[in-house]
Amino acid sequence: MIRTKLDALAQMMDEYRAMPFPKGFRGLDVEDQDMVMLDADTAGYVSRVLAGPLSEPFRGGLIRLVGVFEKVLPAISDEYASNYYTRARDVAVLAAEIEAMRDK
């Protein structure tokens, strides 16, 4: 089951990374969150999950990242950017679910 989820995560990540970064979001803060860093943090955490289990500090960071998405997504009015960051959130949520499965 975890292998299937990891494969799905890799596919979702490839699709998300293939999308161009939203115009006008470089250097932009939304709800006090740098949008480039949000993008980079997502890529970093997901890459680590795909490579193997996270340490406790990284697990905590991944959970916080998911929370950041819940804060910023409602504040994004640009349709493309909203879609882009929704995909990023979905990738982060699946990564967190995989990490939770590794505990069992």
Name which of 26, 7, 2, 21 is nearest 85 in CA terms. 21
pLDDT higher than 90, residue 92: yes
103 or 90, higher pLDDT: 90
Kindly report, residue by residue over 22-54, the tens digit of the pLDDT: 999 999 999 999 999 999 999 999 999 999 999
From the number of C-beta atoms within 10 Å of its C-beta (0-12, 13-18, 19+), residue 6 rates as middle
pLDDT higher than 80, residue 99: yes
pTM above 0.85, yes or no: yes
What percent of the chain is predicted at pLDDT more than 70?
A: 99
